[in-house]
Amino acid sequence: MYATFDLDRPGDLAAALAILRTKGAVALAGGTNLIVDMRAGRERPQRVVSLDKLGVLRGIRQARGQVTIGGRTTVTDLLLSPVIAKTAPALVESARQFAGQMVRNTATVAGNIACGSPAADLVPPLFALDARLTLVSARGRRTVPIESFFIGYKKDIRRPGELISRISWKAPSSRSCALFYKLARRKGDAITVVGVAVALDVERGRCRRARVALGAVAPTVFRAREAEAILEGQTLTPELIESAAEAAAAAARPIDDIRASAAYRRHGVHALVRRLIGQAWEKLA
Amino acid sequence: MSAPFDPNRNLANVSLRHVGKPLVRTDAPGKATGRTPYAGDYVMPGMLHAKVLRSPMPSARLVRLDVSKARALEGVALVLTARDLPDRLAPTDIPGQTGQTRLKTDQQILVRERVRYHGEPLALIAAESVDVAEKAMSLIDYDLEPWPGVFDPESAMRPGAPVVQGTDNIVARHAIGKGDIDAGFAAADMVVERTYRTQFIEHAFLEPEVGLAWVDENDVVNIRVSTQVIEHFRFIADAIGVPHNKVRIMGALVGGGFGGKEDITVEIYLALLAKHTGRPVRLEFTREDSFVGHGKRHPFILTYKTGVKRNGKITALDVRLVSDAGAYVFLSPYVLLYGAIAAPGPYLIENLKVDAVSVATNNMYTSAFRGFGSAQACVAYEQQMDEVAQAIGIDRLDLRRRNYLKTGEPTATGYRVPSAVWTERCADIAWQALGEKTPAKGAIRIGRGLAAYQQSYGRLTFLHDTSEAWVGVEVDGTVIVRSGVTDIGAGQASALAQIAIEVLGVNMENVVVYNSDSAVTPLAGTTTATRALYMTGNAARVAAEAVRGRLVARAAKAFGVPVDDVVLADNKVSALDRPDKAMSFADLVRLCATEGIQRSELAMFRAPFTDRLDPATGQGQAFADFTYGAHAIEVAVDTETGEVTVLKSVACHDVGQCINPAAVEGQIEGGAAQGQGYALSEEMIYREGRLMTPSLSEYLIPTAMDVPVVKSIILESRSGVGPFGAKGIGEPALTPVAPAIANAVADAIGRRIHDLPITPEKVVRALHGID
Ligand SMILES: Cc1cc2nc3c(=O)[nH]c(=O)nc-3n(C[C@H](O)[C@H](O)[C@H](O)COP(=O)(O)OP(=O)(O)OC[C@H]3O[C@@H](n4cnc5c(N)ncnc54)[C@H](O)[C@@H]3O)c2cc1C
């Protein structure tokens, strides 16, 4: 049952931010989380502020080696963009496996980040890109690394009335490779059981930069820094890759639920980190 | 491999103009353009909206139920509890027209004192809007005191277990004994014993339960409802205490049934609320209501002990079946009987013993689901065939070939099937059609599996099944078919149209079918048990032929030719080899009308009427006939993540005679998808009786991204007992799919997972023993 609420559809960002300052107001983007939660009675906002008229929040740009996308960019927008295809292949892979067509057409990137789910599929690839989030409110704006955005299960650093207006990252070099794997109980419209994004930069036969970001195996998406440290600066061997995979599995703090046991999730992290690092290395070496 | 089968071989000497063609179904344009009203689209002025309050506990005593606040809420018309109703029960026995004595299986309509399952209804609410009804629901105060429960059938059978039903939770037993089981095992070179388990699954039809009821000026309770069975009107009348002719059920095109709309769903609640308020009442289940509002597929524990000679001949089979009936009996005894009869599969087993038992628990009640016990049996017998083949080291298909039941041989109950048995042909064709094997790569292994089956169509013959249809022609040459048959999406109504026009020689655009009204269309029985085409199709054919007989006789007289020379085709009447003799079909009908020749016929078709099976040996006739076929699968298994991808899915069934091949393909493709869910991802999880998978985000049916293109190979032996030699395909299309997938996974990874569903986690555990 839906509780009653007021719906606003402001035409500019300033107006939206002004309304969002009021108590009980919440932003509505694609609605693919919020409306589901409202129907189930988990969320009972008094004011729903639809962002659908805010064209400024939607779009994909590349300038001076920097890629910037608006928070209201949809998953389908990602899939149709040559810029994303070039600069964020792991994000494309996660977008491809995201929900089903109807949800992809309306679900947004900022909504995926802001929902705070550890299983949010776009987030591990954004971690692997060292993406930065621009947060705006009626009081001003700030930019934070995505990694410091999440502070606990469905908890983040947003202040009341703050929106994610942009997500940006540095376009990776040609000597880099990023991959994503969604392990789930079925192929379409599934909630992720283990999400793994990896990125490697290789120079002169050595791994310069390694990113291993894990989804659905801890209260938030996180980087397995121990695994990254094992790889960085090294010429990768099967043994090194194996020990990085072990480190990643050890860093995971998965739960048991009806989708999978903690033990299986940990196994999945191990298997997939090993596989993806191996594939990325093979591509670059 | 036997020689490739030429499907055209059987087309000789059969000339059918409409039957067997993929004509546009009568229900297609309305559905495609969105004009078709489903039961949920009907509204009435002044209509109330209903909600059902359900128990969140699976086993409890209701110690207090206070609805006063809900009743006082503005906009609430009525709140009903068990205290407001006379102590009547809701029947849960097999529905329909048979007049057999009912099993003592009736269920309380609302909880009086004892709650037996999670979701059992406590109160009914009717209000001016859904929002008010939901608000009222939240205002009902109640106390439930936990009551000892039992949550698996093996525990429920133990002495001292909490009693859910009867005196010992035993809901039904069936035994089959044939030949000499001890001698059979003594003659075996090897004995293979395995236990297989299947899970609770959910029908997950597109359209959740919905209906609208009103009491008319004749005091008749009218209910427009999404159902497979309009003939529940008798049970509904008994439950609310009115004569049978005071309840009328009108169906609508149904958005999927699969057995889940075979039992009564919203009807009794609607009838009670409409009667007590005097206003129309609408009740629509949400998906979450639907999940707790109708019975599930029975989980079975199936233990197979097979004695086999080194040459592959099976000498003995001992089968034990245990099914979880859940909290109320519903159709459990029948489902169990189907399972017992199906237990040996499409094989000739001379020495056979089956012991089957169904046990009540505090899980959700279980009832009809496409495949009805036979599907669970197939999951076991076809995996067992692969296990036996592996144990004695012979090819899986060779083992099957050595044991297939052949045309004219007796089934488990000693009954000789009257139709062609084409199992071997279907299995070989399906297997060959898999084509070249996909290469394995890295952690990905490829496996193949096959399952053959035997599945009845038509009801148990001791139920004495009948079906009626009426066919009439109008003076402009158009045709009307009337029959109570419900159309649950498989084209049941359209099939009757195709049959009638075949017989009468008119075209598809000249026929209209009226169906699914218990008061004004002749009663046709249920759309269940793969019986609609067999029973109602035969009735329509008989009715159409009677009309045709009179028309042809009149035409013969007019033409001065023998009746056998009169040809009806393309809306015309002509005489063989006499081009001068011809008239339009409409002119012939008009001629008959002016002379008072009857232009319509009401026909009843009767299935064979038999006695019950011998209770000690299970011998006798149980069904009129069976469908045979096979499904072949190729899978890719990721041995690191455990993910299973179905790469190829090929079905080959002998359907006797297609009425509409496009509709047959629809059944086969749907069966392939549903069977894939059964094998790999679907499971209603109950923990201590509580549903842990309350919505479609936890209960995982395969999506379009999971199911490969399904190849349907349709054979026609023209030997069935349905119209024009048709057999049934509704349930058979599903039955072999899950075991074929299980066999393919086992082939890929070299280990077998004996309990469905085969989740990635189970695969990983089988391969790596994680923990
Ligand atoms: C059938 C189905 C399948 C799904 N499958 C997947 C899947 O495969 N993978 C996956 O990751 N998710 C999946 N989801 C979840 C959901 O679609 C995604 O999380 C989606 O990205 C949410 O975006 P939205 O625009 O719909 O957010 P909304 O529902 O509109 O909002 C979600 C939350 O974010 C807040 N919010 C929205 N925009 C902003 C903003 N600019 N700044 C700050 N806060 C904001 C809202 O206030 C709300 O709290 C699925 C959902 C459904 C219904």
A23-58 tens-digit pLDDT: 999 999 999 999 999 998 899 999 999 999 999 999
Specify the amino acid at residue A105: N
Rg, C-alpha atoms of chain A: 19
Q: Is the peptide bond before A82 cis (omega within 30 degrees of 0)?
A: no
User: In degrees rounded to 5, what are phi and psi of residue A267?
Assistant: -60, -40
Phi/psi class of residue B169: alpha, beta or left (left: φ > 0; alpha: ψ in -120 to 50)?
left
Rounded-to-integer distance, Cα B591 and Cα B60, Å: 71
pLDDT of residue B89: 85
Q: How far does the CA of residue A12 sit from the closest CA of chain B (Å)?
A: 34
C-beta of A118 in contact with ligand 1 (< 6 A): no
**Mutation for testing the A interface, residue in B286, B444, B643, B683 having most A CBs under 10 Å:** B643
Q: What string of DSSP letters covers B241-277?
A: T--GGGEEEE--B-S--TTTTSS--SHHHHHHHHHHH
pLDDT of residue B13: 42
| Cα B641 to averaged position of ligand 1 atoms, centre (Å) | 27
C-beta of A91 in contact with ligand 1 (< 6 A): no
pLDDT of residue B103: 60
pLDDT of residue A162: 97
Rounded-to-integer distance, Cα B636 and Cα B750, Å: 13
DSSP state of B508: G
B192-236 tens-digit pLDDT: 999 999 999 999 999 999 999 999 999 999 999 999 999 999 999
Q: How far does the CA of residue B247 sit from the closest CA of chain A (Å)?
A: 32
pLDDT of residue B769: 83
pTM higher than the cut 0.95: yes
Q: Residue B222's closest CA among B209, B233, B231, B235?
A: B233
The answer to whether the beta carbons of residues B554 and B599 sit under 8 Å apart is no
Rounded-to-integer distance, Cα B713 and Cα B654, Å: 9
pLDDT of residue B90: 86
| pLDDT, mean of residues A80-109 | 97
From the options 3.90.400.10, 3.10.20.90, 3.30.365.10, 1.10.10.60, give the CATH code of B466-606: 3.30.365.10
pLDDT of residue A3: 78
DSSP state of B296: B
B492-516 tens-digit pLDDT: 999 999 999 999 999 999 999 999 9
The answer to whether the beta carbons of residues B486 and B756 sit under 8 Å apart is no
The answer to whether the beta carbons of residues A122 and A153 sit under 8 Å apart is no
Specify the amino acid at residue A152: G
Helix or strand holding residue B17 (H, E): none
Nearest CA to ligand 1 atom 4: A99
Q: Residue A69's closest CA among A140, A146, A11, A17?
A: A146
Q: How far does the CA of residue A207 sit from the closest CA of chain B (Å)?
A: 24
Cβ of residue B702 closer than 8 Å to a chain A Cβ: yes
ipTM value, please give it: 0.96
The answer to whether the beta carbons of residues B357 and B336 sit under 8 Å apart is yes
Tokens of B164: 């859910």
Q: Residue A172's closest CA among A25, A284, A75?
A: A284
The answer, yes or no, to whether residue B254 has pLDDT greater than 60, is: yes
| Cα A204 to averaged position of ligand 1 atoms, centre (Å) | 41
Q: Which residues of B touch A271 (CB under 8 A)?
A: 640-641
C-beta of A26 in contact with ligand 1 (< 6 A): yes
Cα-based angle B715, B719, B720 (whole degrees, multiple of 5): 95
Calculate the CA dihedral of residues A274, B753, B323, B351 and round it to 10 degrees: 170
Instruction: Tell me the helix, strand and coil percentages in chain A, rounded to 5.
Output: 35, 25, 35
What CATH class has B300-461+612-767? Answer: alpha beta
C-beta of A113 in contact with ligand 1 (< 6 A): no
pLDDT of residue B209: 98
- Tell me, which fold does domain A65-170 have in CATH? 3.30.465
User: In degrees rounded to 5, what are phi and psi of residue B263?
Assistant: -85, 165
CB contact under 8 A, B764 and A267: yes
Per DSSP, helices labelled H in B98-240 are 130-138, 153-157, 181-186, 233-240
Q: Which residues of B touch A190 (CB under 8 A)?
A: 700
Tokens of B587: 């002119």
Query: Domain limits of chain A?
Result: 6-50, 65-170, 176-284
B100-121 tens-digit pLDDT: 555 666 889 999 999 999 999 9
What residues form DSSP beta bridges with B222? B214, B248
CB contact under 8 A, A258 and B706: no
Q: What does each C-alpha distance from A2 to A133, B132, B646 come to in angstroms? A: 32, 12, 40
The answer, yes or no, to whether residue B591 has pLDDT greater than 70, is: yes
End-to-end CA distance of chain B: 44
Cβ of residue A62 closer than 8 Å to a chain B Cβ: no
End-to-end CA distance of chain A: 56
B613-637 tens-digit pLDDT: 999 999 999 999 999 999 999 999 9
Phi/psi class of residue B496: alpha, beta or left (left: φ > 0; alpha: ψ in -120 to 50)?
alpha
Query: What percent of chain A has pLDDT above 90?
Result: 98
Is residue A24 classed exposed, middle or buried when 0-12, 13-18 and 19+ CB atoms within 10 A define those classes?
A: exposed
DSSP state of B101: P
Q: Residue B752's closest CA among B396, B398, B405?
A: B396
pLDDT of residue A82: 97
What CATH class has A176-284? Answer: alpha beta
Rounded-to-integer distance, Cα B63 and Cα B72, Å: 22
CB contact under 8 A, B771 and A258: no
B39-147+209-284 domain in CATH 3.90.1170.50?
yes
Contacts of B398 (CB under 8 A, 6+ apart): B312, B389
Tokens of B175: 């035994």
pLDDT of residue B548: 97
pLDDT of residue B542: 97
Across all residues in chain B, what is the average pLDDT?
95
What CATH class has A6-50? Answer: alpha beta
Of the candidate ranges A16-20, B106-110, B348-352, B533-537, the one whose mean pLDDT is the lowest: B106-110
Cβ of residue A183 closer than 8 Å to a chain B Cβ: yes
Contacts of A1 (CB under 8 A, 6+ apart): A39, A41, B130, B131, B134, B135
Rounded-to-integer distance, Cα B332 and Cα B358, Å: 7
Cα-based angle B232, B235, B238 (whole degrees, multiple of 5): 145
The answer to whether the beta carbons of residues B372 and B338 sit under 8 Å apart is yes
CB contact under 8 A, A1 and B135: yes
Task: Tell me where in chain B the CATH 3.30.365.10 domain(s) lie.
Answer: 300-461+612-767, 466-606
| pLDDT, mean of residues A224-228 | 98
Tokens of B105: 């299986």
Q: What string of DSSP letters covers B583-642?
A: EEHHHHHHHHHHTT---EEEEEEEPPP-PPPPTTT--S---SEEEEEEEEEEEEEETTT-
Rounded-to-integer distance, Cα B531 and Cα B646, Å: 31
Tokens of B449: 């599996």
The answer, yes or no, to whether residue A1 has pLDDT greater than 80, is: no
The band of B97, judged by pLDDT with boundaries at 50, 70 and 90, is low
Q: How far does the CA of residue A266 sit from the closest CA of chain B (Å)?
A: 9
Rounded-to-integer distance, Cα B743 and Cα B378, Å: 12
What distance lies between CA B409 and its chain's CA centroid?
26
Helix or strand holding residue B158 (H, E): none
**Mutational test site, ligand 1, from A33, A166, A191, max ligand atoms within 8 Å of CB:** A33
Cβ of residue B688 closer than 8 Å to a chain A Cβ: no
The answer to whether the beta carbons of residues B126 and B47 sit under 8 Å apart is no
| Cα A107 to averaged position of ligand 1 atoms, centre (Å) | 6
Any idea which residue has 């199709």 for tokens?
Answer: B537
Q: Residue A47's closest CA among A70, A14, A16, A73?
A: A16
B294-326 tens-digit pLDDT: 999 999 999 999 999 999 999 999 999 999 999
Among A191, A263, A272, whose Cβ lies nearest the Cβ of B641?
A272
Q: Residue A146's closest CA among A162, A174, A122?
A: A122
Phi/psi class of residue B173: alpha, beta or left (left: φ > 0; alpha: ψ in -120 to 50)?
beta
